[in-house]
Amino acid sequence: MPEPYWPKRKGSYRLSNAAKNSRYARLRCRYCKTYRYYLIEELKAVFGDIECDDVVYQNDWRCSGCGEKNMIEFDTCNPSATELQASVVRRIDRVVYVRKVIWKDGPD
């Protein structure tokens, strides 16, 4: 039985809504079908409580299978233990904050 997809809707369906029904998000490459599971709670920690449809625009998601950018589709799921074992769950390793200095020529 397939996992229920969220209803087709016009309203906003946010990560916090998705997290009530599912623990994982599956980001899948439309090109080569490679996918990774992400914890919805971690996506929310990183991006905030954004709409699920906007997750694919939040990052320069690059497929680790074929290297294509912006070919990622998002859905939510509750994979079985067996499916999880056969798949890659991508977790937050660390968050790096970058401080960038822009120089300009004088006189001011």
Q: What H or E segment, with its residue span, contains residue 101?
A: none
DSSP secondary structure of 11-57: S--BHHHHHHH-SEEEEEETTT--EEEEEHHHHHHHH-S-BGGGGGG
Contact set for Zn ion, span 16-45 (CB under 5 A): 29, 31-32, 34
Q: Is 55 in the site for Zn ion (CB under 5 A)?
A: no
| Whole-angstrom distance, CA of residue 82 vs CA of residue 9 | 32
Q: Is 64 in the site for Zn ion (CB under 5 A)?
A: no
**For Zn ion, which stretch binds (CB under 5 A), given 19-27, 55-63, 72-80, 90-98?**
55-63
CB of 27 to Zn ion, least distance (A): 11
Report the interface residues with Zn ion, using CB under 5 A: 29, 31-32, 34, 63, 65-66, 68
